[in-house]
């Protein structure tokens, strides 16, 4: 995998060994960022971050800050390695449960994010959707954008305004706003 655009364009990034994470491929990341548009000076929250590819791409494209949340220790180590390799000082890696992190972010002076990236394991969406529907609106800034990656067969429903939903091979990318 590599960074598609921005200040770190072309630089390779790693992913944890094994099949516990499913990094978003270069082609899908490029398509997502074409849909998102500019992210300069934005604050980004990357949930179920895996290798961190989506958030790293945002930082390379000028995001001011990115908080990566991942519960798998090997994946957290891979994100930290990528952040260090790319010399991105605007990154914070939280190795903890996503819902614990969301509670803390909501409670931390009402912190909100311009871009929230959500990429849970494909098979887990149905079990997570209700809890995410309750938690995500509180961390999304008023003009923020939420990007959800699921299996192409799944059409996420959240209490937010649907912008678009597109299939890319086995993945579906769905964008929401407040």
Do 93 and 79 meet the contact criterion of CB atoms below 8 Å apart? yes
112-170 pLDDT tens trace: 999 999 999 988 999 999 999 999 999 999 999 999 999 999 999 999 999 999 999 99
How far is Cα 61 from Cα 72, in angstroms, rounded to an integer?
A: 26
- Tell me the CA distances in angstroms from 81 to 21, 45, 103, 177, one per residue in order: 16, 18, 26, 32
Q: What average pLDDT score do residues 48-66 get?
A: 96
d(CA 53, CA 14): 9
What does the pLDDT read at residue 122?
86
Q: What is the mean pLDDT of the chain?
A: 92
For 129, counting Cβ atoms within 10 Å of its Cβ (0-12 exposed, 13-18 middle, 19+ buried), the class is middle
Is the C-alpha dihedral spanning 148, 131, 16, 94 positive or negative?
Answer: positive
**Domains of the chain by start residue, with CATH:** 26-177 (3.40.50.150)
């Amino acid at each position: 995998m590599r960074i598609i655009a921005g200040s770190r364009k072309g630089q390779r990034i790693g992913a944890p060994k094994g099949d516990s994470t499913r990094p978003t491929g270069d082609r899908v990341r490029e398509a997502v960022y074409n849909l998102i548009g500019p992210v300069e000076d934005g604050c980004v929250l990357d949930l179920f971050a895996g290798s961190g590819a989506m958030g790293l791409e945002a930082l390379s494209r000028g995001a001011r800050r990115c908080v990566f949340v991942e519960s798998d220790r090997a994946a957290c180590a891979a994100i930290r390695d990528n952040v260090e390799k790319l010399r991105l000082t605007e990154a914070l890696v939280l190795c903890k449960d996503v819902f614990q992190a969301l509670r803390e972010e909501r409670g931390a002076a009402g912190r909100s994010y311009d871009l929230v990236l959500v990429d849970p394991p494909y098979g887990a969406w149905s079990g997570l959707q209700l809890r995410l529907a309750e938690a995500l609106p509180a961390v999304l800034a008023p003009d923020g954008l939420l990007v959800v990656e699921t299996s192409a067969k799944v059409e996420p429903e959240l209490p937010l305004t649907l912008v678009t939903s597109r299939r890319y091979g086995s993945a579906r990318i769905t964008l929401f706003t407040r």
